């Protein structure tokens, strides 16, 4: 860990900001295909009809902008909600507009037609994606922050 002298504290915030940005970008770029595959595994029409392995980086832009790290345990617990979100996103727009596709209705429909297993479709890739993302994020963050801090330290000399 870098020990800071009082006059160098001003660079810590900028270095942390840049480090966090670089770390988030690395995580999103590396793990986006896994999330795409997870989403396609959860699709009601099935993996192959949802796109299979084609175009796994399509749509990465919004993901890079809006990502936030979470823990693997929360990923596991919230998988049914992620499945519901995915089903609603991929649903026929007419069903969504009529109010038929609510979270509660979708949870019930998945459970009745696919059982417990359907609620946890894509569980392993989701937990792996978010857990690995945390490791990559914090490793990249620490490296980028320290590199940025060293560069600013050289400029102050």
What are the extents of the domains in the chain? 8-50+59-156
pLDDT digits (tens, 9 = 90+) for 95-126: 778 888 888 999 999 999 999 999 999 888 88
pLDDT above 50 (res 68):
no
pLDDT above 50 (res 54):
yes
pLDDT of residue 122: 87
Tokens of 91: 């649903």
Cα–Cα distance measured from residue 55 to residue 130, given in angstroms and rounded to the nearest whole number:
21
Task: Give how far the C-alpha of residue 152 lies from the chain's centroid of Cα atoms, to the nearest Å.
Answer: 31
User: What are the φ and ψ backbone dihedral angles of 44, each rounded to 5 degrees?
Assistant: -60, -35
What is the rounded average pLDDT of the residues 80-99?
Answer: 84
**Element holding 66 (H helix, E strand):** helix 60-66
Does pTM top 0.85 for this prediction? no
pLDDT of residue 97: 81
Q: How many alpha carbons lie under 13 Å from residue 83 in its C-beta half-sphere? A: 29
81 confidence band (pLDDT: 50, 70, 90): confident
Count CB atoms within 10 A of the CB of residue 2: 11
């Amino acid at each position: 860990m870098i020990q800071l002298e009082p006059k160098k504290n001003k660079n810590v915030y900028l270095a942390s900001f840049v480090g966090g940005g670089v770390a988030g970008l690395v995580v999103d770029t590396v793990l986006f295909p896994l999330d795409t595959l997870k989403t396609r595994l959860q699709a009601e029409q099935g993996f192959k009809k949802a796109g299979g392995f084609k175009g796994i980086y399509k749509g990465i832009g919004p993901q890079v902008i809006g990502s936030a790290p979470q823990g693997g345990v929360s990923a596991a617990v919230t998988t049914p909600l992620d499945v519901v979100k995915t089903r609603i996103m991929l649903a026929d727009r007419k069903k969504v507009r009529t109010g038929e596709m609510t979270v509660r209705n979708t949870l019930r429909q998945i459970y009745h037609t696919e059982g417990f297993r359907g609620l946890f479709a894509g569980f392993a890739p989701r937990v792996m994606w978010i857990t690995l993302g945390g490791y990559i994020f914090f490793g990249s963050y620490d490296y980028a922050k320290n590199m940025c801090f060293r560069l600013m330290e050289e400029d102050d000399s």
